[in-house]
């Protein structure tokens, strides 16, 4: 029983450390950043989902991950927001980690994801070809 408790405690600690690595941003925070044109959005839901609907201006991470360095701003302190499906979805991490690996320092996670964005009645944009940004 003690081993199980220790495992669960370690797992919870690990999850909280990972969650803190990329601070959260709210839907209102993203809307403000979009309005001021001070954000790059990385949609980590996959190309099919991105084509069906994404936050306006979001980059299709799955289709563009090999070109990410060319698509992100030169300013490494620029706000980068990664998101995926919902608060339980871990896919955003791949996009956030890719930006971090390129040297970006201001990376946040829209925990509400595309599901929360839709539920809030926010504007959606549909994609085109898989290679579109």
The percentage of residues in the chain with a pLDDT greater than 70, rounded to a whole number, is: 80
- Output helix, strand, coil percentages for the chain, rounded to the nearest 5: 45, 15, 40
Please state, in angstroms and rounded to a whole number, the distance separating the CA atoms of residues 58 and 88. 20
Query: If you average pLDDT over residues 79-100, what whole number do you get?
Result: 97
pLDDT tier at 21 (50, 70, 90 boundaries)? confident
Give all domains of the chain, ordered by start, each with its CATH number. Answer: 22-119 (3.40.250.10)
Q: Please write the tens of the pLDDT for every residue from 54-68.
A: 999 999 999 999 999
Average pLDDT of 19-47?
A: 93
Average pLDDT in the 34-44 region?
96
If you average pLDDT over every residue of the chain, what do you get? 86
pLDDT of 4: 42
């Amino acid at each position: 029983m003690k081993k199980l408790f220790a495992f669960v405690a370690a797992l919870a600690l690990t999850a909280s450390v990972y969650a803190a690595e990329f601070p959260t941003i709210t839907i209102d925070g993203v809307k403000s950043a979009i309005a001021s044109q001070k954000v790059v959005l990385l949609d980590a839901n996959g190309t099919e989902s991105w084509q069906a609907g994404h936050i306006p201006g979001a980059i299709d991470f799955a289709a563009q991950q090999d070109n990410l360095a060319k698509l992100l701003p030169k300013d490494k302190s620029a706000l980068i927001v990664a998101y995926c499906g919902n608060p339980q979805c871990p896919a955003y991490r791949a996009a956030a980690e890719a930006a971090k690996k390129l040297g970006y320092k201001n990376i946040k996670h829209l925990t509400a994801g595309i599901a929360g964005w839709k539920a809030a009645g926010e504007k959606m944009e549909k994609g085109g070809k898989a290679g579109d940004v």
